[in-house]
Amino acid sequence: MKQGTKQLIVQTGSLVAGFMVWVLISSLMPFIKADINLTSTQIAWATAVPVILGSLLRVPIGYWTNRYGARTLFTISFIVLIIPIALLSYANSLLTLILGGFLLGIGGAVFSVGVTSLPKYYEKTKHGFINGIYGAGNIGTAITSFSAPVLANAYGWRTTIKIFLIIVLIFALLNFIFGDRKERKVNISLTDQIKEVYKNPKLWFLSLFYFITFGSFVAFTIYLPSFLVNHFELDKVDAGLRTAGFIALATFFRPIGGWLGDKINPFLILMAVFFSLTFAGFLLSFTPSLPIYSFGCLLVAFFAGLGNGAIFKLVPLYFSKQAGIVNGIVSAMGGLGGFFPPIILTILFNWTGHYAIGFMSLSEFSLASLVIVVWLFYQDKLDISAKIVNHALDGICLTDVHGIIQSVNPAFTKITGYSQAEVIGKTPSVLQSGEHDNEFYNKMWDSLKSNGVWEGYIWNKRKNNDIYREWLTITAIKDDAGEIKNYVGMFYEDHEKS
């Protein structure tokens, strides 16, 4: 078996185990609150707290993975997770729940390990799909959401928590034995890496997108069990099953989102994602009946899953040399996106008696993200066009309708000797060699006005006064109304006659 395939299996399995542990409190909260007297606000804090460390630790863990390797990070993480699991099994107060839950966040933080390590084993054209498969380890939250209530019904919630001690010990051992000891390491200081990326707006745009897509996934995962029991008065096991279905759907579509990101422009996928999340948030804000509410949740699961996969196709595209730290920052923002909504929803419900404002915020944030994605999509196209112009071997000169030079490319400077600063605001007459009379130039402009194009040989003069012959094509650029707005000239030197 190839090392890449082996690590994909081991690391994806490890993420499943980490996420299983991460949502223990939220999955068992309907049982825990029967033994420990908690208010609705305290329940929201207890279920949201694991997200804090699970988010903040993702930044250093992404960096440490590059430096020490996935094997070391996964093994240590699973050993450390023994502490909060043991603590929670004896919890008898809110303080114990919060302390154990905070450390339980390590189970969510391990997400940064695989998205940093696995791309090292595959070519760029597969990064979206590979990260999507790894991200499908989210299914661990569904496994716990479904199985934990069933086990708690049979054996009690404290015994159920202790069962997870076996899981973390097994995966600590698996990573120690099968982890790649020879993984390629990257040893650049954390400060230097942050300095390289923090000024790049794409980092923060991707963080916002993941804040919404993965944040929605996490928020619904930790909030649905209690919400379905309290608001719709469902049975605890039924609520767990529905939550597991939400998680399974989002998880299934995550690798599909990554795969689609390898095949088509990821920005097109994100446009569909944020348009649909805008509609879903609007639908949920009216706190509808259970069937309509379920439909809204399924929309969130479907498109959040697609978005999660597509976003992690973009990260290695834009930050191939700083993937570790950027993966950490983006995934940390996604985790934090799951921390705030449950608390905000609970506070708003206590104030207003409904959830409309909270769910509407999902709609508004998604709408804002849709606008940004559309802008990035067209900005990306402009960047590509600019790169084509700047790397072209032919000289290119853009003028306004009056023939005033607006911009030139590097090839123009190389051929003529004039820099962009020296010709902007002037006319192409700075290149006139004196070899042509006025009738030549009048015919050129007549052709441009009547046909929109002129091409032919012309003698021009460089900055150093050397005269050379070039083949020049001038084209009129028109707007949608058919009015000429610019002229673009493209030329190359005819060395045989120069």
For every residue of 185-248, DSSP letters joined together read P----HHHHHHHHTT-HHHHHHHHHHHHHHHHHHHHHHHHHHHHHHHH---HHHHHHHHHHHHH
pLDDT at residue 174 greater than cutoff 80 = yes
Q: Which of 342, 363, 388 is the last residue of a domain?
A: 388
What integer pLDDT is reported at residue 358 of this predicted model? 75
Say if residue 405 is in the same domain as residue 381.
Answer: no
Grade residue 227 by pLDDT with cuts at 50, 70 and 90.
confident
Structural domain contains residue 203:
yes
| 365 CB-contact burial (10 Å; exposed 0-12 / middle 13-18 / buried 19+) | buried
Query: Does residue 384 sit in the same domain as residue 397?
Result: no
For the ranges 58-62, 347-351, 365-369, 448-452, which has the lowest average pLDDT? 347-351
| DSSP 8-state class, residue 432 | B
Q: Residue written as tokens 């899953």?
A: 305
How confident is the model at residue 469, as a pLDDT? 93
Residue 131 lies in a domain: yes
Q: Is residue 378 part of a domain?
A: yes
Over residues 264-303, the pLDDT tens digits come to 888 999 999 999 999 998 888 876 688 888 899 999 999 9
For residue 102, being part of any structural domain is answered with yes
What pLDDT score was predicted for residue 18? 96
469: phi then psi, degrees, rounded to nearest 5? -105, 140
Asked whether residue 427 is domain-assigned, the answer is yes
Same domain for 297 and 440, yes or no, is no
| Average pLDDT of span 202-229 | 85
Residues 408 and 437 in one domain: yes
- Could you tell me if 379 and 473 lie in one domain? no
For the chain, what is the mean pLDDT? 87
Q: Is residue 435 part of a domain?
A: yes
Q: pLDDT band at 180, cuts 50/70/90? A: very high
Domain assignment of residue 360, yes or no = yes
pLDDT surpasses 90 at 307: yes
Assign 318 a pLDDT band (cuts: 50, 70, 90). Answer: confident
What value does the mean pLDDT take over residues 163-185? 94
* Helix pair 127-135, 3-22: axis angle to 10 deg: 40
CATH number at residue 443: 3.30.450.20
Q: Record the pTM.
A: 0.68
Amino acid at 304: A
Domain extent at residue 464: 392-493
Half-sphere exposure of 157 (CA within 13 A, CB side): 21
Q: Which two tokens stand for residue 358?
A: 């909270």
In a domain, 498, yes or no: no
What's the domain count of the chain?
2
> Does 396 share its domain with 341?
no
Query: The tokens of 490 are what?
Result: 């493209």
Q: Which of 363, 388, 413 delimits the end of a domain? A: 388
Q: What value does the mean pLDDT take over residues 246-273? A: 89
The answer to whether residues 348 and 479 belong to one domain is no
Co-location of 15 and 160 in the same domain? yes
Other Cβ atoms within 10 Å of 109 Cβ, number: 27
Split at pLDDT 50, 70, 90, the class of 314 is: confident
pLDDT band for 79, please (50, 70, 90 cuts).
Answer: very high
What is d(CA 413, CA 396) in angstroms, rounded to the nearest whole number?
9
Both 378 and 432 in one domain: the answer is: no
> C-alpha 429: how far from its chain's center?
49
Taking the alpha carbons at both ends of the chain, their separation in whole angstroms is 62
Whether residues 315 and 410 share a domain: the answer is no
CA distance 301 to 8: 24
Q: Pick from 388, 413, 440: which residue ends a domain?
A: 388
d(CA 100, CA 69): 27
pLDDT at 390: 78
The enclosing domain of 149 has a CATH number of: 1.20.1250.20
Q: Does the structure show a pLDDT above 80 at 352?
A: no
Specify whether 267 is located in the same domain as 127. yes
Whether residue 416 sits in one domain with residue 465: yes
Average pLDDT in the 245-268 region? Answer: 88
User: pLDDT value at position 323?
Assistant: 67
Inform me whether the pLDDT recorded for 388 exceeds 90.
no
Does residue 498 have a pLDDT over 60? Answer: no
